[in-house]
């Protein structure tokens, strides 16, 4: 069974631009969560989607948003990029009713 896939793997953007990251969960997994990983703040929860609805949201500004499609694929969007948004963005999927999360390889975003 294929794992969680994320595209693109690497991205370089300029301050002020916006970016969209994509995540395809493991087949059969309907819950998708997003995390930001930085050297300073570590791993922080962004949001969780299930059945195309945001179920939970971390402590991030409104510039960070996401959505989930009917096939469980998810996207996250960051608008008006700041230098501090440079990070590894990780997507994780899980089965309904299960608390194990399986992570993708991440998208490395660099904001210049």
Partner 1 sequence: GDSVTQMEGPVTLSEEAFLTINCTYTATGYPSLFWYVQYPGEGLQLLLKATKADDKGSNKGFEATYRKETTSFHLEKGSVQVSDSAVYFCALSERRDTGRRALTFGSGTRLQVQP
Q: According to the binding rule CB under 8 A, does residue 60 interact with partner 1?
A: no
**Burial class of residue 50, CB neighbours in 10 A (0-12, 13-18, 19+):** middle
Restricting to residues 35-54, name those near partner 1 by CB under 8 A: 35, 42-45, 48
- Minimum separation from the CB atom of position 60 to partner 1 (A): 12
Q: How far is the CB of 18 from partner 1 (least distance, A)?
A: 24
- φ and ψ of 103, to 5 deg: -100, 150
Give the separation between CA 112 and CA 101, rounded to whole angstroms: 31
Q: Per CB under 8 A, does 56 bind partner 1?
A: yes
Q: Which residues of this protein are in contact with partner 1, per CB under 8 A?
A: 4, 6, 31, 33, 35, 42-45, 48, 55-56, 58, 90, 92, 94, 99-106
């Amino acid at each position: 069974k294929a794992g969680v896939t994320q595209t693109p793997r690497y991205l370089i953007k300029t301050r002020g631009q916006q970016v969209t990251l994509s995540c395809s969960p493991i087949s059969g997994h309907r819950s998708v969560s997003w995390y930001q990983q930085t050297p300073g703040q570590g791993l922080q929860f962004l949001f969780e989607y299930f059945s195309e609805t945001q179920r939970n949201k971390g402590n991030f500004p409104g510039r960070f948003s996401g959505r989930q499609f009917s096939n469980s694929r998810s996207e996250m969007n960051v608008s008006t990029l700041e230098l501090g948004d440079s990070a590894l963005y990780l997507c994780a999927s899980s089965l309904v009713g299960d608390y194990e999360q399986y992570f993708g390889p991440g998208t490395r975003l660099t904001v210049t």
